[in-house]
Amino acid sequence: MSADPRRQVPRTDTLLADGQIVPAVERLGRDLVKDAVRTVQERIRAGDVAPTAAVAAVLAELPDTAASLRPVLNATGVLVHTNLGRAPLSAAALAAVAAAGGTTDVELDLATGRRGPRGEAALAALRAAVPAAEAALVVNNCAAALALVATALGQGRELVIARGELVEIGDGFRIPELLESTGARLREVGTTNRVTAEDYTRAVGPDTGAVLKVHPSNFVVRGFTRSVPVAELAAALTGTAVPLVADVGSGLPAPDPVLPDEPDLQTTLADGADLVLASGDKLLGGPQAGLVLGRADLVQRLRRHPLYRALRVDKTALAALEATLRGPLPPVSRMLAADVAGLRARAGALAARLAGAGVDAVAVDSAARVGGGGAPEHPLPSAAVSLPEELAELLRAGSPPVVGYVEAGRTLLDLRSVLPESDEALAAAVLAVAGR
Ligand SMILES: *Cc1c(COP(=O)(O)O)cnc(C)c1O
């Protein structure tokens, strides 16, 4: 009888020198491959893997990349899902990120060999997308844009803001706490449900650094309510020299007929805001970024402030932002624009294919959402593949992971948040976990 296989555990050095494993060491680094080797050696000792299958088991154990973040199929129907990385980048933006990831001319004018303005092309693309903006600035995210504005315009002074706009965005991020952390004092006006232009103008005085309007984003107040639109507030502030800053959050460059109630950058500036702030990775469909657009003198003040240096974006975000604005429609825009007939056809085809393979699958109508704190009361008509409830967990643990949602005892995979080119991968992922 041969020796106990558990005694024949291949040595770490032997496995790391194997012809099939060496390329993985080059691709992923020695430490990650060593982790996989150790895991497999444990399994051999436990008798779960044959010693002769060690190399194959190590290869199967290796991660795809040296980072642990994995691509996930978002079938939640929430287009901008914060827990799933918000806006997925377009292929054009991903290619731009890859190109800019190495050594790149982000701050060098190659024609003269001199230092050039950082990210000028991305800023020009922003101004082109929002013609009402004299100037633009990009920082790390919209919270950073708010912090910069509050510091540069409001430190030691007052920021006038409506009580109904002192909002919490999510995960404990409260805008009033962020503003006060900069040393600005908040001058709250109006009540929770109502505020008028006179409330604002009465509060404005020599100590006022700016008037701030914050889009409530993730909730609505109904009933006996009144807020002051940007145009009315701008008119009321005429002659006061107090800047009106509007944080619109979601970052639509221009009005979108699919989301009639969502504020956009161009209209907000055209209505008279001096600065408008937004996120880059919500409805704009780009990388995480904070966009600041508007009056050139104010943008210049922010750019010159020492805090700007701590908030500026890296070269890959600038590249992704420019490609999002100049390149083909980003995924979020395509998902928003998808017509429900097309979504139903895709759900029907997917369900038929799965049912043909013996999976309990039917196409159903569903309601998708913008997410990321946008258009909270605006369901988007959609279509989904309905599967047995127990598949939700298996799909999440699959490869690639698929995240759907459970409703009324069924797992729904909503297709508005899945691009058509991913339908094939979605079908394969379901078939893999449904055991067919
Ligand atoms: C989402 C949101 C923010 C925060 O944006 P980040 O880019 O996540 O920092 C700020 N203000 C409003 C109105 C928002 O909707």
Q: From the CA of 173, give the closest atom in ligand 1.
A: 4
Torsion of CA 71, 74, 75, 78, to 10 degrees: 180
Q: How many whole angstroms separate alpha carbon 223 and alpha carbon 249? A: 24
Residue bearing the CA closest to ligand 1, atom 5: 142
Is ligand 1 within 6 A of the CB of residue 215? yes
Is ligand 1 within 6 A of the CB of residue 263? no
Q: pLDDT means per 10 residues in the chain (436 residues)?
A: 72 96 96 97 96 96 93 97 96 98 94 93 97 98 98 97 92 92 97 96 97 89 92 97 96 94 96 98 97 98 98 97 98 98 98 97 97 79 98 96 97 98 98 85
Region of 377 (left: φ > 0; alpha: ψ -120 to 50; beta: rest) is alpha
> What pLDDT score was predicted for residue 378?
86
Q: How far, in Å, are 134, 240, 252, 267, 308 from residue 271 at the CA level?
A: 14, 17, 15, 6, 27
> What pLDDT score was predicted for residue 436?
59
Break the chain into its structural domains and give their ranges. 5-61, 73-84+334-433, 91-327
Is ligand 1 within 6 A of the CB of residue 332? no
Q: CB atoms < 10 A from the CB of 60, how many?
A: 11
> What pLDDT score was predicted for residue 1?
44
Q: How far is the CA of 103 from the centre of ligand 1 (A)?
A: 31
Residue bearing the CA closest to ligand 1, atom 13: 249
Looking at this protein, which amino acid is placed at residue 106? Answer: V
Is ligand 1 within 6 A of the CB of residue 169? yes
> What pLDDT score was predicted for residue 235?
98
Q: From the CA of 145, give the closest atom in ligand 1.
A: 9
Is ligand 1 within 6 A of the CB of residue 88? no
Residue bearing the CA closest to ligand 1, atom 6: 142
Is ligand 1 within 6 A of the CB of residue 247? yes
Q: How far is the CA of 80 from the centre of ligand 1 (A)?
A: 12
Encoded tokens for 94: 């991903």
- Domain boundaries 91-327, corresponding CATH code: 3.40.640.10
Residue bearing the CA closest to ligand 1, atom 12: 249
Is ligand 1 within 6 A of the CB of residue 140? no
Asked if domains 73-84+334-433 and 91-327 share a fold, the reply is: no
Is ligand 1 within 6 A of the CB of residue 187? no
Is ligand 1 within 6 A of the CB of residue 214? yes
Q: How far is the CA of 406 from the centre of ligand 1 (A)?
A: 28
Q: Could you please state the CATH topology (level 3) that the domain comprising 73-84+334-433 is classified under.
A: Aspartate Aminotransferase, domain 1 (3.90.1150)
Q: Which of 234, 231, 275, 248 is nearest to 134 (CA)?
A: 275
